[in-house]
Protein backbone atom coordinates (compact mmCIF):
# COMPACT_ATOMS: atom_id res chain seq x y z
CA UNK A 1 0.00 0.00 0.00
CA UNK A 2 1.28 3.42 -0.76
CA UNK A 3 0.63 6.44 1.41
CA UNK A 4 -0.93 9.39 -0.40
CA UNK A 5 0.51 12.90 -0.19
CA UNK A 6 1.16 15.12 1.59
CA UNK A 7 3.02 13.25 4.26
CA UNK A 8 3.13 14.60 7.78
CA UNK A 9 5.67 13.24 10.23
CA UNK A 10 4.75 13.45 13.91
CA UNK A 11 7.66 13.03 16.28
CA UNK A 12 7.06 10.86 19.36
CA UNK A 13 7.21 14.07 21.46
CA UNK A 14 4.38 15.82 19.61
CA UNK A 15 2.07 17.35 22.24
CA UNK A 16 -1.01 15.83 20.57
CA UNK A 17 0.14 12.32 21.57
CA UNK A 18 -1.24 11.20 24.91
CA UNK A 19 0.77 8.53 26.74
CA UNK A 20 -0.67 6.73 29.74
CA UNK A 21 1.15 4.31 31.97
CA UNK A 22 4.89 4.03 32.36
CA UNK A 23 6.68 5.88 29.50
CA UNK A 24 10.21 7.28 29.47
CA UNK A 25 11.82 9.80 27.08
CA UNK A 26 14.92 8.59 25.29
CA UNK A 27 16.63 8.79 21.96
CA UNK A 28 19.88 8.80 20.04
CA UNK A 29 20.92 10.80 16.95
CA UNK A 30 20.00 7.88 14.64
CA UNK A 31 16.31 8.25 15.55
CA UNK A 32 13.89 10.76 14.04
CA UNK A 33 14.51 14.10 15.77
CA UNK A 34 16.99 12.30 18.04
CA UNK A 35 14.11 11.25 20.32
CA UNK A 36 12.01 8.23 21.26
CA UNK A 37 9.46 7.47 23.92
CA UNK A 38 9.59 3.96 25.34
CA UNK A 39 7.94 1.67 27.83
CA UNK A 40 8.97 -1.64 29.33
CA UNK A 41 5.73 -2.07 31.26
CA UNK A 42 2.62 -3.86 30.01
CA UNK A 43 -0.68 -1.96 29.80
CA UNK A 44 0.97 1.33 28.84
CA UNK A 45 -0.90 3.06 26.00
CA UNK A 46 -0.31 5.88 23.54
CA UNK A 47 -3.15 7.71 21.79
CA UNK A 48 -2.25 9.38 18.48
CA UNK A 49 -4.93 11.64 16.97
CA UNK A 50 -4.49 12.39 13.27
CA UNK A 51 -6.22 13.71 10.17
CA UNK A 52 -5.55 11.83 6.96
CA UNK A 53 -6.01 8.56 5.13
CA UNK A 54 -3.30 6.37 6.66
CA UNK A 55 -0.82 6.11 9.50
CA UNK A 56 2.41 4.20 9.98
CA UNK A 57 4.07 3.73 13.36
CA UNK A 58 7.85 3.91 13.24
CA UNK A 59 9.84 2.48 16.12
CA UNK A 60 13.20 1.27 17.28
CA UNK A 61 13.62 -2.41 18.07
CA UNK A 62 16.13 -2.68 20.88
CA UNK A 63 18.59 -5.55 20.97
CA UNK A 64 17.75 -8.53 23.13
CA UNK A 65 19.02 -8.50 26.67
CA UNK A 66 19.68 -11.35 29.06
CA UNK A 67 16.37 -10.41 30.75
CA UNK A 68 14.42 -10.80 27.51
CA UNK A 69 16.06 -13.51 25.38
CA UNK A 70 13.87 -14.60 22.46
CA UNK A 71 11.02 -12.48 23.79
CA UNK A 72 8.42 -11.14 21.41
CA UNK A 73 7.31 -7.55 21.48
CA UNK A 74 3.51 -7.65 21.62
CA UNK A 75 1.37 -4.61 20.90
CA UNK A 76 -2.18 -3.91 19.81
CA UNK A 77 -3.23 -1.12 17.43
CA UNK A 78 -6.82 0.11 17.44
CA UNK A 79 -8.42 2.87 15.37
CA UNK A 80 -11.33 4.79 16.87
CA UNK A 81 -11.82 2.36 19.77
CA UNK A 82 -12.26 -0.56 17.37
CA UNK A 83 -14.97 1.05 15.25
CA UNK A 84 -12.78 1.83 12.19
CA UNK A 85 -10.25 -0.98 12.63
CA UNK A 86 -10.62 -3.94 14.93
CA UNK A 87 -7.71 -4.39 17.31
CA UNK A 88 -4.67 -5.64 15.39
CA UNK A 89 -2.03 -7.46 17.41
CA UNK A 90 1.58 -7.42 16.22
CA UNK A 91 4.28 -9.78 17.54
CA UNK A 92 7.90 -8.90 16.75
CA UNK A 93 10.97 -10.77 17.94
CA UNK A 94 13.50 -8.45 19.50
CA UNK A 95 16.60 -8.53 17.25
CA UNK A 96 20.19 -9.38 18.16
CA UNK A 97 21.19 -5.78 17.34
CA UNK A 98 19.21 -2.57 17.77
CA UNK A 99 17.28 -1.73 14.58
CA UNK A 100 16.13 1.82 13.81
CA UNK A 101 13.25 3.18 11.67
CA UNK A 102 11.20 -0.04 11.76
CA UNK A 103 7.66 0.22 10.41
CA UNK A 104 5.93 -1.64 13.23
CA UNK A 105 2.39 -0.88 12.04
CA UNK A 106 0.77 0.50 8.91
CA UNK A 107 -2.95 1.09 8.57
CA UNK A 108 -4.91 0.27 5.48
CA UNK A 109 -5.91 3.16 3.20
CA UNK A 110 -8.83 4.93 4.87
CA UNK A 111 -11.29 7.68 3.94
CA UNK A 112 -9.75 11.09 4.69
CA UNK A 113 -10.96 12.29 8.11
CA UNK A 114 -9.95 12.52 11.77
CA UNK A 115 -8.92 9.31 13.59
CA UNK A 116 -7.55 8.16 16.94
CA UNK A 117 -4.92 5.42 16.90
CA UNK A 118 -4.41 3.67 20.23
CA UNK A 119 -1.23 1.66 20.76
CA UNK A 120 -1.31 -0.79 23.67
CA UNK A 121 1.83 -2.37 25.06
CA UNK A 122 0.92 -6.01 25.68
CA UNK A 123 4.37 -7.49 26.29
CA UNK A 124 5.12 -8.98 29.69
CA UNK A 125 7.79 -7.29 31.83
CA UNK A 126 11.01 -6.28 30.03
CA UNK A 127 9.43 -5.98 26.58
CA UNK A 128 10.80 -2.74 25.14
CA UNK A 129 8.18 -0.78 23.12
CA UNK A 130 10.02 2.18 21.61
CA UNK A 131 8.02 4.74 19.58
CA UNK A 132 9.97 7.06 17.28
CA UNK A 133 7.63 8.75 14.77
CA UNK A 134 4.28 8.51 13.00
CA UNK A 135 3.90 8.92 9.22
CA UNK A 136 0.50 10.28 8.27
CA UNK A 137 -0.74 10.24 4.69
CA UNK A 138 -3.66 12.13 3.26
CA UNK A 139 -4.76 15.63 2.53
CA UNK A 140 -4.53 18.94 4.32
CA UNK A 141 -7.30 19.30 6.89
CA UNK A 142 -10.29 21.41 5.87
CA UNK A 143 -9.97 25.16 6.38
CA UNK A 144 -11.65 26.42 9.55
CA UNK A 145 -15.01 28.17 9.24
CA UNK A 146 -14.69 31.75 8.02
CA UNK A 147 -11.55 31.16 5.92
CA UNK A 148 -12.14 31.96 2.24
CA UNK A 149 -10.24 32.25 -1.01
CA UNK A 150 -6.76 30.84 -1.32
CA UNK A 151 -6.18 30.58 2.44
CA UNK A 152 -5.88 27.09 3.89
CA UNK A 153 -4.10 25.29 6.66
CA UNK A 154 -0.82 23.86 5.50
CA UNK A 155 1.10 21.04 7.09
CA UNK A 156 4.78 21.65 7.35
CA UNK A 157 7.02 18.81 6.39
CA UNK A 158 10.23 18.39 8.27
CA UNK A 159 12.49 15.58 7.15
CA UNK A 160 15.55 14.89 9.20
CA UNK A 161 18.31 12.89 7.52
CA UNK A 162 18.18 9.24 8.50
107 HSE (CA, 13 A, CB side): 33
* Predicted local confidence at residue 149, as pLDDT: 34
* Domain spanning 8-137: CATH 3.40.640.10: no
Burial of 4 (C-beta count, 10 Å sphere; 0-12/13-18/19+): middle
According to DSSP, the β-strands at 54-61 and 129-137 are antiparallel
Selected residue with higher pLDDT from 24 and 154 = 24
Burial of 11 (C-beta count, 10 Å sphere; 0-12/13-18/19+): buried
Length of the chain: 162
Instruction: Give the pLDDT confidence of 91-134 residue by residue, as tens digits.
Output: 877 777 888 999 999 999 999 999 999 999 988 766 788 999 99
- Domain positions in the chain are 8-137
Give the span between the Cα atoms of 57 and 90, in whole angstroms. Answer: 12
Residues 35, 98, 19, CA angle at the centre, nearest 5°?
40
| Whole-model pTM over 0.75 | yes
Residue 1: band (very low, low, confident or very high) from pLDDT cuts 50, 70, 90: very low
Mean of all residue pLDDT scores within the chain: 80
* Predicted local confidence at residue 48, as pLDDT: 97
Amino acid sequence: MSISQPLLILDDRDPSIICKGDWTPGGVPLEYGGTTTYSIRPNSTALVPFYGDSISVIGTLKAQTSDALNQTLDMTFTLDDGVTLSPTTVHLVQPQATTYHVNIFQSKLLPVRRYKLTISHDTPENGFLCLDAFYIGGHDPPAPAGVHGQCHLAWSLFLAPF
